[in-house]
Amino acid sequence: MIHTRIKTLRLAISLVASLGLLIVILAFVYPHFSAHAENEERSNVKADDVSAAIEAALYTRYEFFGSQAIVPFPTAEARNRLAAVAAKYPGNPQVYLKLSQLDEKLGNEELALEEMRAFVEHEPDKIKGLETMAEFLHRRAQFSAEAETLERMLQVAPLEQRTEVFRRLMQLAETHLLEKYLTPRFYEQTITDNPSAYEIVEQYQQTLIDNNDYDKALSLIRQTKIAFRSITMTSYTKKHRCSRTWAA
């Protein structure tokens, strides 16, 4: 009987201790969880406020035959109204982007570029920001600056996207004769930074072969054969044999 009571008492003490520990954990965790939730809620509210402010700066509403119609403000007026929004919400990327678009439309090229740079700086998604910048520069026919932007994208893009970014960069460089990106040094640095990108290695190999630089092409194959066991020497061998035939 006494043994049973002792056992029950120990069980009760254990339950009380566990309950106390749970209360302590909740007391520690809840404020942090609550603060995180409040911060997230504030962030969402702020984003909604900014979106509403941008819309109010760009559009007005008129009633036509009993229906509400959304009508854009004239571009210059919308730009001035949006500048006031930028002053109220400094550092907001969407405001900078809209300002840049309006200034571009108004022909304010320097302002548009400055605002586009601010957008890229404050946009959390760096690929999105740089892609938008590249499109802007392409529209302005600023191809050297566009190439520099693609080069920045190449550095920050996920590995699976870098080959496509590199392809775009080289196509731009070849179209507009941007010598910086057509040199062996740039290829070699890109391969060093992206040793697993087979397509980049293959493209450089083909460039060397086209330029009759067979020794360097063979050296490249030897350097990369461990990483790319399937790399073929067919094009190299064919071209090299042709060169020997002509030399003979």
DSSP of 33-51: HHHHHHHHHHHHHHHHHHH
What is the enclosing helix (H) or strand (E) of 84? helix 75-88
What would the pLDDT profile of 141-161 be if each residue is shown by its tens digit? 999 999 999 999 999 999 889
Two structure tokens written together for 151? 């080069």
Residues whose CB is less than 8 angstroms from the CB of residue 41 and which lie 6 or more positions away in sequence, other chains included: none
Q: Which amino acid is at 142?
A: Q
DSSP string, 97-145: HHHHHHHHHHT-HHHHHHHHHHHHHH-S-HHHHHHHHHHHHHHTT-HHH
Fill in the DSSP letter of residue 203: H
What is the model's pTM? Answer: 0.68
pLDDT along the chain (248 residues), means of 10: 57 58 55 46 64 92 77 93 94 96 96 97 96 96 97 91 91 93 85 76 76 74 55 46 42
pLDDT digits (tens, 9 = 90+) for 194-206: 777 767 777 777 7
